[in-house]
Structure 1
């Protein structure tokens, strides 16, 4: 992040102290992290049976409730039809009203737990299928009713059946969003160690790894996750396993990497200090994958769903940067071509997914705020003209891009001259006319850095009609904009007005 020198009315006082600059930047980073932390993405998943294409939904509510009651009574009596009755019950429980009817039956959950822990493998599978259907319920009182089954679901995570393990994982994940009591109970029952053991034992089974990622991401979105869950997660083997899955599998697809990336995002955005993850190589791994994905995007190889992986990775990189010492940035981020990747992602998703483009600009902003080398890379790799072209865009993209350009200007005086030669002055002449007050304020601050970098830049701005724009800004409704405009005119630009008048006369 960056903050330009505050405008002073007394000559000879340029800029605030370095400590003030750093404090403002930290405050801005905190706001951005908070914004991302508040965007909760809890969801529920329903796994289908192998013999069906889509969920069946009972249309007749009264009939569905009666079916559940009838099946419940049948299941209380053991018999050869029990397996078929359980399968019918799992389908009937897709009706939300039938779910409520079932949990209201006396000893209904006791019956399911008994079947779940019995010796009949088929009945165990159908019982967990019933619990899975219940976990997908839209009614918030269903999840707490399923609590008696959760210790057994956790125990079964160490089983050998992939299908059974997946059902247990997604059922546990579905139960989390509706109830803090469920999360508390699962935490007390050892859900984090169980997930760590599961992913350790099944690390080659990507379907199970994906399910572990889903369940963990649901848990990590709890309001008190930073205090109660994340320390346990960081002390486990889960972070190293999550990082190992980040690279997409060419045969299985992006899904496991997507789930694990979201888990890492929730970890990074919930803590002020991410040194534990940095020590495990989280920033290097995330940024390297961003470079790979950005390269694919630049070549037009945009796989379906790729943005679902890019988004949490960008957030991980952006959040981890705040904990990374500046002197370690080159080794933690690695290839300077990350700026190429970020610009490619920004351009590719600008029209279709502007929020993702803004995330990319945000990471670019965080990188350039810390690194002169990456600021230089944007110039030497000729990426700045493309960024300048984005200044007319709204939705927060233009303000973030202007911050990136200001980060570059703030690093070196010669960078300011280069930015002016690349067309930034004419772009600022356009942004100063915008109705967006933040954009105008940032443009004033950007202009201040450029004009104090050398007389040639100030002369060029005046030649382009900049004086009239600043004079008009002296009547802006925002006092801060009026002050900036007055200061620029009186202390840095009016002395060039006579020169430009002579120059224009000779040209005519």
Structure 2
């Protein structure tokens, strides 16, 4: 959870109210992390290219054109394969999708070709089904539902390309509604995906993990899907694939990381996945990423892997003792990631700061390690940034300062800390001002010499300026600090 520490509010007279508000904010944050739905659908790369080509040369389609293609397919003409190829291209267009599914028995004919004993016809029919499953209109994509028994059966086939397409169709359908997911569960989708995750083909494993993630992010995942995944023993394989050096590639690791994030955030299996080694694997991966960043060896899209791994680790450490990780190099790695992505991907930095807050709250060893690795200057450079960056930094500084005199004295060795706090107090961000006052109070309370240093850096003037802030809570806190520590310096 995120907090700046209970001792911050000492002397303000409304301790319990402030703590209650903080607990409510913590709960809301955890709920948001758990329930954020990242529903998406996916096409194979070559189908995306076909669609881009269609956009440039065929912006619209007529009912007659779709009907003629359907007739060529339906009557088994010699150019059926070419007709399927043309239909697949047309099904990139939403209007063509609706026209095709409105034709009598069209989906049953397509499924019939999908179950053909001609591999080339099967593959093209699968591409058409994939197009339909990718439709924005759920009424279109759901016409593929009768194909699910065949899709699951073909997952054990010999063609990796065909298996991959079947997996993406299943994943797209799983995103639609609860009834679809219930049907897939009854048909044994989890067990089928377990087999695909063991495939030697990276594209198949990636597609299987994608389909699994579509199931796991459903609202009913906690009650139905996560238990089925645990029963099928999928989590050890997912954890194993969190590896940059895996021959299956980074995209596979990304999909497996999202699966693990959804499993962990469900709250059902945290201890189970911890016992299977997820903490070690996630930390090892982040350290490797940090080193790659420091050496300039990172690859494009690595942030797609950082997101789910950091979220997964953050949720795990929010509810358990994280001190065994304190000396493993995780903090410098997160610091490198924050610095790397702040200019271009600030949301990555925000995720890492959230994890750092979870690691340091109430954890003296982690707070000490933060100072040991000299990471405070990195934090202070982030103070001017908005969008939640500054408030997370101030909260983290509060976690460290709450540990007492020894760590506060080490914070004071960074003379720019008071300048950073004053910068925060001058902003229009009410939450940043409140947190800056809390951190300042902790430091002043624990270190007598801090009052002199703060005054020497013109901090008193900044404090006086917000004594008459329109926000009553900020005004009360500023007046309290002036009265307690600088009464003799008031103008």
Both proteins in one fold, TM over 0.5: yes
Of residues 358, 374, 395, the one that matches 1:403 is: 395
* 1:298 and 2:298 matched: no
Q: Does structure 2 conserve the Cα–Cα contact (< 8 Å) formed by 1:29 and 1:322?
A: no
The 5 Å alignment of 1:174-323 reads: 174-200=172-198, 202=199, 204-249=200-245, 253-271=249-267, 274-323=270-319
How far apart, in 2, do the equivalents of 1:164 and 1:82 lie?
Answer: 19
Q: Secondary structure at the match of 1:229?
A: helix
Distance in 2 between the 1:439 and 1:184 partners?
46
Say which SS state the counterpart of residue 160 (structure 1) adopts: coil
Matched residue, 2:467: 474
Deviation for aligned residue 1:312: 1.1
Equivalent in 414, 423, 427 of residue 420 of structure 2:
427
1:212-249 CA-to-partner distances (Å, cap 9, x unmatched) read 11111222222322222222223222211111111124
Q: Does 1:341 align with 2:333?
A: yes
Match of 1:379 in 2: 371
Deviation at 1:73, TM superposition (A): 2.4
Match of 2:70 among 65, 69, 72: 72
Whole-Å separation in 1 of the counterparts to 2:331 and 2:174: 38
RMSD of the alignment, in Å?
Answer: 2.7
Instruction: Measure, in 2, the Cα distance between the counterparts of 1:335 and 1:460.
Output: 32
Query: 1:264-312: CA deviations, max 9, x gaps?
Result: 1222223276222222222221122111101111222221111111111
Q: Which protein shows a greater Rg?
A: 1
Residue in 2 aligned with 1:452? 445
Identify if the C-alpha distance between structure 1 residues 419 and 272 changes in structure 2 by more than 3 Å, giving closer, same or farther.
farther
Aligned length: 485
Q: After the TM superposition, which residues 331-370 of structure 1 pair with which residues of structure 2 at under 5 Å, given as runs?
A: 331=324, 333=325, 335-370=327-362
Tell me, what secondary structure is at the counterpart of 2:486? helix
**Does residue 490 of structure 1 match 2:486?**
no
Work out the CA distance in 2 between the residues paired with 1:253 and 1:9.
54
Which structure is richer in relative contact order (CA contacts within 8 A, separation 6 or more)? Answer: 2
Say whether the 8 Å CA contact 1:67–1:92 is kept in structure 2. no
Aligned equivalents of 2:463, 2:384: Cα separation in 1: 19
**Deviation of 1:487 (Å):** 1.8
SS state at 2:446 partner = coil
Q: Which residue of 1 aligns with 2:30?
A: 33
Matches of 2:459 and 2:145 in 1, distance apart? 68
Give deviations 1:113-132, integer Å, cap 9, x for gaps.
22222333332222212211
Counterpart contact for 2:61–2:90, Cα < 8 Å: no
**Match for 1:392 among 381, 384, 391?**
384
1:119 to 106, 117, 120: 117
TM-score normalized by the length of structure 1: 0.88
Does the Cα contact within 8 Å between 2:339 and 2:349 map onto a contact in 1?
A: yes
**How big is each residue's C-alpha offset from its partner over 1:310-355, in whole Å with a ceiling of 9 and x where there is no partner?**
111111111111232x2xx244x37431110111111111111111
User: What residue in structure 2 maps to residue 45 of structure 1?
Assistant: 42
Contact 2:244/2:250, CA 8 A, preserved across alignment: yes
SS at match of 1:393: coil
Q: Indicate which of 145, 167, 170 corresponds to 1:169.
A: 167
Unaligned runs of 5+ in 2: none
**Could you give the per-residue CA deviations for residues 383-422 of structure 1, whole angstroms, max 9, x where no partner exists?**
1122122212211111101111111111131111111221
Q: Which moved more, 1:166-175 or 1:367-376?
A: 367-376
Give yes or no for contact 2:205–2:252 (8 Å, CA) kept in 1.
yes
Q: Secondary structure at 2:170's aligned position in 1?
A: helix
- Give the match's secondary structure for 1:477: coil
Higher mean alpha-carbon deviation, 241-250 vs 78-87, is at 78-87
Worse-matched range after superposition: 434-443 or 111-120: 111-120
Would you say the 8 A contact 2:318–2:359 is kept in 1? no
Shift of residue 152, structure 1, vs aligned partner: 0.6
Structure 1 contact 4–445 (Cα < 8 Å) conserved: no
* Greater displacement, 24-33 / 370-379: 24-33
SS in 2 for 1:158: coil
Rounded to whole Å, the distance in 1 between the matches of 2:116 and 2:424 is: 71
Residue 190 of structure 1: CA displacement? 2.0
Name the counterpart of 2:156.
158
Distance 2:397 2:59 in 1: 61
DSSP-derived class of the 1:392 partner: coil
Q: Please tell me whether residue 59 in structure 1 is matched to residue 58 in structure 2.
A: yes
Please, which runs of 5 or more residues in structure 1 have no aligned partner?
502-508
* Aligned equivalents of 2:46, 2:377: Cα separation in 1: 53
- Is the partner of 1:411 in helix, strand or coil? coil
